[in-house]
A = this chain, B = another copy of it.
Amino acid sequence: MLPWDAEMAGQLHRETIGSTLLRGNPLGDPHERPIWVYTPPEYSARPGTRWPAVYVIQGYTGHLSMWANRSAYKQPFPETADAVFASGEAPGCIVVYVDAWTAYGGSQFVDSPGTGPYHSYLVDEVVPWVDARYRTLAQPASRAISGKSSGGFGAMITPMLRPDVFGALATHAGDALYEYAYVPEFAKAVRYLRAYDGDIFRWWEDFRSRPAFSAEGDGTLLILLGCAACFSADPDGTVRLPFDPVTGELVPERWQRWLDWDPVRMVDRYADALRSQRAIWIDAGTRDEWYLDVGATAFRAGLTRIGVPDDRVHFELFNSGHAGIDYRYPQALTWLAHRLER
């Protein structure tokens, strides 16, 4: 393997999708979005064959182009994904790389008056668009979604909301159990916001005016602003934090809106949808900085509680923090590829 580039056995089609739903979204983000569709090695050689599809989404502050980023001694996921098909380790799949970036760094793949209808965009626009242009097996049993971190969150909730669209999922260190993943961040945010009189929009203005992430609190504040836009915006789009930015006290009704989006707490409400999934991959590093290993454990326990059979679930904690776990993606992809109906 040379570090600079690689030839793939399959083909990566870099396209643009024009969304109707995202038109006029509240943050002024483009409604024309990049999308990459990967077709496996034998795709053109077997013109009569239809293929399962795995949708891949990014984590917070991730956007589509970052899938092409290269680093030392590692290949980007599109190449490691290609490799599992090229080697025969996994039966061929179409892999769809979806962009749901917003000006705040992400959409959490939900519909929100604070950011836009990114959930609907994904299930009602992207999926049909792909099915119309590529030879997919257009049914939930042959359609999976996977991601890491906020992408893992999206991979958990999307099939819960729309089991008629997705029938399998993989979550790597997906956001869950918000008291551990988010609450400590609120306390940090209170500290960082002391320099901004407790006004996160004064921070946002500052952030946009200087090199990004050059101040210590930038990462924390950005994700909180973004999640508040996704989870607790007013109907008119006004973003509301789930805590008092000066005293740190939780604002119960807003915090409850966040908790309503906690995958662990959603399990019982969406039990049927989860029981309809063919394959659920859950993993996380045992030293995850957001305790997402604990969240993964609770989500796994929830599946047992509602009666998801053990043979449909892969659960694994491994020795790692939150970063540097991209080598897990092709493992989950392989596992899914074997379980999707074809």
| Known contacts A180-B187, A212-B72, A214-B320; A298 and B248 CB within 8 A of each other | yes
Q: Kindly list the 6 A-B residue pairs having the minimum CB-CB distance in the complex, ordered from nearest.
A: A73-B212, A211-B327, A61-B72, A187-B291, A247-B298, A180-B187
- B298, A249: Cβ atoms under 8 Å? yes
Give residues in A with beta carbon < 8 Å to B. Answer: 2-5, 30, 34, 61-66, 68-74, 99, 101, 105, 177, 179-180, 183-184, 186-187, 190-191, 211-214, 244, 246-250, 264, 286, 291, 293-295, 297-298, 301, 320, 324, 327
Q: Which of B3, B34, B183, B213 contacts A4 (CB 8 A)?
A: B34
| Known contacts A63-B4, A101-B3, A190-B294; A301 and B247 CB within 8 A of each other | yes
- B297, A246: Cβ atoms under 8 Å? yes
- A105, B72: Cβ atoms under 8 Å? yes
Q: How far is the CB of A93 from chain B (nearest CB, A)?
A: 22
Number of chain copies forming the complex:
4
4 more A-B residue pairs beyond the given contacts A73-B213, A248-B297, with a C-beta to C-beta distance below 8 A: A3-B101, A74-B213, A179-B179, A248-B294
Inside 8 A of A248's CB, which chain B residues have their CB?
Answer: 177, 180, 291, 294-295, 297-298
Q: Which of B65, B213, B327 contacts A3 (CB 8 A)?
A: B65
Closest to A106 in B: B72
Q: Kindly state the separation between the CA atoms of A179 and B250 in the bound complex, as whole angstroms.
A: 9
Closest to A300 in B: B247
Inside 8 A of A177's CB, which chain B residues have their CB?
Answer: 187, 248-249
| Known contacts A291-B248, A293-B191; A4 and B180 CB within 8 A of each other | no
